[in-house]
Amino acid sequence: MNLYDEISSNKRKSILLVSLFFIVIGALGYAFGLYIGSIFVGVSYGIIISVFVLLVGYYAGDNAILSMSHAVPAEKRKYPFLVNTVEGLAIAAGIPTPKIYVIDDSAINAFATGRDPKHASVTVTTGAIERLGRTELEGVIAHEISHIKNFDIRFMLLVVILVGVIAMLSDIFLRSMFYGRGRRDSKSGGGGGAAVVMAIGLVLAILAPLIAQLIKFAVSRKREFLADASGALLTRHPKGLADALRKIKNDKEPLVEAANKATAHLFIENPLRAFGGKMNNMFSTHPDINERIKRLEGM
């Protein structure tokens, strides 16, 4: 599969991803409808909230992510090499120059976000700027530019939004069940049917966020390998990114303070990898960094 086929594949996966999330959302709405006595109202409630949040997130999600990450615009006079490199690689990739941001953090990391190449941004930590060599930083930026070119940013943005939607709906459902339980029991007399509905709804509400997270983890790790390969193609120097990944791997303080579980998968390498040990690695959205380095050095 060539790069253009991969881009088309990512677009199709985006549609499939949205469909899977709406199936989970529909199941939550159905369970809520059973609980309140109207399946139509329950499903409609879930869909209306989901569509509203999805639209708001789609058009404003990147700004929210940048704000959460405490990213600030990169000034060319302060970061001339960073700005010039992003501009040059964007031209090489055939996309508009993305906005450029910096996070004041000693960890070495970076990410790209936005809904499409015309509305995209690249964010780099000050640790990456200060601690990476020029070819290494160029390799990291090329990786992020490749995410933009390959439409991975849209895919990742949808993941963040929809996981949040399901968590929110699940929380609303659980709260309504627990706070309304006494009133409902007094009306129904606590019959067996009500208890079954309560049990089904409770299980769905608890499992829905877990299912959403599993879908998030299932987002193809091949995306990172593709961005590595595309980035190496842009720079014609795969060793630069390989060396950068090695420095990231050996970073004594890998935690990006502003990162969280909702945004960790956006970064070039998991910024929370210092936590969770083997369990964290098992459910990581990133491929093994040693394998990535090996593939780059083999190019």
Residue for token pair 């959302």:
25
pLDDT for 283 equals 62
Note the pLDDT tens digit of each residue in 172-223. Answer: 777 777 666 544 554 444 455 556 666 766 776 777 777 777 776 766 677 8
Note the pLDDT tens digit of each residue in 18-37. Answer: 788 778 888 888 877 877 77
Q: How far is CA 229 from CA 1, 69, 114, 122, 234, in A?
A: 13, 27, 21, 18, 9
Q: Among residues of the chain, what percentage have pLDDT more than 90?
A: 33
Q: How far is CA 233 from CA 1, 154, 181, 237, 240, in A?
A: 15, 22, 59, 8, 12
Question: Is residue 68 predicted with pLDDT exceeding 80?
Answer: yes
- What is the pLDDT averaged over residues 112-127? 93
Please give the Cα distance from 203 to 222 (Å, whole number): 32
Please give the Cα distance from 297 to 232 (Å, whole number): 10
Amino acid letter, 82: L
Question: Is residue 104 predicted with pLDDT exceeding 70?
Answer: yes
Please give the Cα distance from 34 to 25 (Å, whole number): 14
pLDDT for 120 equals 94
Question: Is residue 1 predicted with pLDDT exceeding 70?
Answer: no
Please give the Cα distance from 271 to 222 (Å, whole number): 19
Question: Is residue 82 predicted with pLDDT exceeding 80?
Answer: yes
Please give the Cα distance from 258 to 162 (Å, whole number): 21
Q: Cite the active site residues.
A: 144
- What is the pLDDT averaged over residues 224-252? 91
